[in-house]
């Protein structure tokens, strides 16, 4: 009987780890893309996640513009539509604020502009968090879908041990993997993607090739924001959230990016998956309040012991 419960718990942690982990992975790619291409640590990434959730919420909730899409499809289409919306928001943020303290203009300045760039994104984060409170109120909301209370049951696999697959999470998982694959193909095989990678690799040489590096950075920042926002929209189908929700996930994003090796865009995806697993399995042995602390401990250990990340060789640009 003990074995039965154990097996059931482990299998459920495993499936939840995979589904949630891949959604985290998508979320981490956003931050990883921004860091990998521009070497910007974006403190406001959690708030962009939050904006993604609210964008989806305001698009598809009952009585809103796209509520005609229904409760089954609507929330997931909303999540996907949050991407382009937050892409534009991110590109504007970059154009008017972030680009002034980062990029080519800070090369060679004292500390290469770390100070300015970290502090400015911290400022953006404060504005979005608190501005969000003014705009959206602080009562938690959720994008309702009946799927979040339905599950596929697999099993019993061993005596009574059964695996529960939450349908909302499962659909979110598929959308997340699809979005990650599309992004991967874009970066790997399109002209735009290659130009972004070239601008990341060597901005000066990229300029010699005729690539507009400022524009590439703007697109990359927008993409990073949009990707995280899609993940936010997906998460909105199974959690409730308020303007301060970004805070709970920002460390997960940093952990994922660091685990994946800072600078490696798809390393960040696997980093996010790993965090999902750590979180789900730590739930088996640790009280709920300590789950986040466990992520921090893993994060600190990785940073201190293996700064190049679990999945990367040294990614720091010379």
Partner 1 sequence: MLEVKNLSVAYGGLRALADVTLSVAERQFVTLVGPNGAGKSTLFKTISGIVPPVSGTISFAGESLLGRRPSERAHLGIAHVPEGRQVFKTLTVRENLEMGAYPKAGRAHWTQTLDRIHTLFPILAERAGQLAGTLSGGEQQMLAIGRGLAGAPRLLMLDEPSMGLAPTVADTIFERISQIHREDGVTILLVEQRVAEALERSDHGYVLETGHIVLEGRYETLLADDRVRRSYLGLTEEA
Partner 2 sequence: MRHGAGPLLRWNVMVLAVVVVAYLLLAFFVTNSYYQLILTLVPVWALFGVSWNILSGYGGQLSFGHASFFGIGAYTVTLAVVYWSLSPWLGIPLGMVLGGVAAIAIGLPTFRLRGHYFALSMLAYPLAILYVMQYLGFQEVSMPMHRDNALAFMEFDEPRIYTLIAVLLLVGGVVVSLIIENSRFGLALLAIRQNELAAEAAGINARREKMRSLVVSGMMGAAAGGFYARVLLVVTPDSVFGMLVSAQAVVVTLFGGVASVWGPVIGAAILIPLAETLQAELGTYLPGIQGVVYGVAIIAVMLLSPDGLFWTIRDRWFRREAPQAIPNLEPVPQPARRPSAHSAGPLLQVEKVSRAFGGLRAVSEVSFSVAEGEILGIIGPNGAGKTTLFNVLNGVLDADQGSARLDGQPMLGKKTFEVCRMGVGRTFQVVRSFSRLPVLDNVIIGAYGAGLSDREAIAQAVRALHQVGLQDRSGVAAGQLTNKQLRLMELARALAGNPRLLLLDETLAGLGREECDEVLDVLGRLRVQGMTICIIEHTMHAMMRLADRFVVLDHGRVLATGPPRVVVEDHSVIEAYLGKKWLARHGA
Residues that bind partner 1 (CB under 8 A): 108, 191, 194-195, 197-198, 200-202, 204-213
Which residue's CB is nearer to partner 1, number 150 or number 201? Answer: 201
Binding site partner of 207, from partner 2, partner 1, none, Cβ cut-off 5-8 A by kind: partner 1
Per rule CB under 8 A, is residue 315 in the interface with partner 2? no
Provide DSSP, 254-304.
HHHHHHH-TT-HHHHHHHHHHHHHHHHHHHHHS-HHHHHHHHHHHHHHHHH
Binding site partner of 212, from partner 2, partner 1, none, Cβ cut-off 5-8 A by kind: partner 1
Which residue's CB is nearer to partner 2, number 71 or number 315? Answer: 315
Binding site partner of 204, from partner 1, partner 2, none, Cβ cut-off 5-8 A by kind: partner 1
Per rule CB under 8 A, is residue 274 in the interface with partner 2? no
Per rule CB under 8 A, is residue 202 in the interface with partner 2? no
Which residue's CB is nearer to partner 2, number 119 or number 185? Answer: 119
Binding site partner of 209, from partner 1, partner 2, none, Cβ cut-off 5-8 A by kind: partner 1
Which residue's CB is nearer to partner 1, number 268 or number 275? Answer: 268
Per rule CB under 8 A, is residue 151 in the interface with partner 2? no
Cα distances (angstroms) measured from residue 154 to each of 3, 15, 175, 283: 18, 11, 21, 21
* DSSP helix/strand/coil, 197: helix
- Please list, in sequence order, all residues whose beta carbon lies within 8 angstroms of the beta carbon of residue 83, skipping any fewer than 6 positions away: 52, 179, 226, 227, 229, 230, 233
- The token pair at 276 is 């999902």
Cα distances (angstroms) measured from residue 305 to each of 86, 302, 309: 35, 5, 9
C-alpha span between 30 and 40 (Å, rounded):
12
Our separate counts of H helices and E strands in the chain read 11, 2
Which residue's CB is nearer to partner 2, number 122 or number 310? Answer: 122
Binding site partner of 210, from partner 1, partner 2, none, Cβ cut-off 5-8 A by kind: partner 1
Which residue's CB is nearer to partner 2, number 15 or number 129? Answer: 129
- The token pair at 219 is 């697109």
Q: Are 259 and 274 in contact (CB under 8 A)?
A: yes
Contacts 24+ apart (CB under 8 A), 63-66: none
Return the residue of 70, 72, 88, 123 that touches partner 2, per CB under 8 A.
123
| Piece of 19-27, 70-78, 104-112, 192-200 that binds partner 2 (CB under 8 A) | 104-112
- The token pair at 182 is 């599309």
Return the residue of 110, 210, 285, 313 that touches partner 2, per CB under 8 A.
110
| Piece of 76-84, 121-129, 147-155, 213-221 that binds partner 2 (CB under 8 A) | 121-129
Q: Are 41 and 121 in contact (CB under 8 A)?
A: yes
Residues that bind partner 2 (CB under 8 A): 39, 41, 43, 97, 100-101, 110-112, 114-116, 118-120, 122-134, 137-138, 243, 247, 251, 254, 258, 262, 287, 289-290, 292-293, 296-297, 299-300, 303-304, 307
């Amino acid at each position: 009987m003990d074995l039965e419960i154990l097996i059931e718990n482990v299998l459920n942690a495993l499936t939840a780890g995979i589904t949630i982990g891949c959604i985290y992975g998508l979320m981490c790619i956003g931050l990883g893309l921004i860091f990998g291409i521009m070497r910007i640590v974006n403190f406001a990434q959690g708030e962009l996640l939050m904006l993604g959730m609210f964008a989806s919420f305001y698009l598809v909730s009952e009585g809103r513009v796209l509520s005609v899409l229904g409760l089954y499809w609507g929330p997931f289409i909303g999540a996907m539509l949050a991407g382009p919306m937050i892409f534009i928001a991110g590109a504007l943020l970059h154009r008017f604020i972030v680009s002034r303290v980062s990029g080519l203009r800070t090369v060679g300045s004292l500390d290469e502009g770390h100070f300015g760039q970290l502090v400015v994104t911290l400022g953006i984060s404060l504005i979005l968090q608190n501005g969000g409170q003014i705009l959206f109120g602080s009562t938690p909301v959720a994008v309702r879908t009946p799927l979040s209370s339905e599950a596929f049951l697999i099993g019993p696999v061993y005596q009574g041990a059964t695996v529960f697959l939450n349908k909302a999470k499962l659909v979110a998982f598929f959308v997340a993997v699809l979005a990650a694959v599309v992004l991967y193909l874009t970066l790997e095989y399109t002209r735009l993607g290659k130009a972004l990678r070239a601008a990341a690799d060597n901005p000066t040489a990229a300029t010699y090739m005729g690539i507009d590096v400022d524009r590439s950075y703007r697109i990359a920042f927008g993409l990073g924001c949009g990707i995280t926002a899609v993940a936010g929209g997906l998460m909105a189908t199974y959690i409730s959230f308020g303007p301060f929700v970004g805070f709970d996930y920002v460390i997960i994003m940093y952990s994922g990016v660091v685990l994946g090796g800072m600078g490696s865009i798809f390393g960040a995806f696997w980093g996010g998956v790993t965090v999902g697993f750590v979180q789900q399995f730590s739930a088996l042995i640790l009280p709920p309040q300590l789950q986040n602390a466990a992520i921090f401990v893993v994060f600190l250990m990785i940073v201190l012991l293996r700064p190049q990340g679990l999945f990367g060789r040294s990614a720091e640009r010379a």
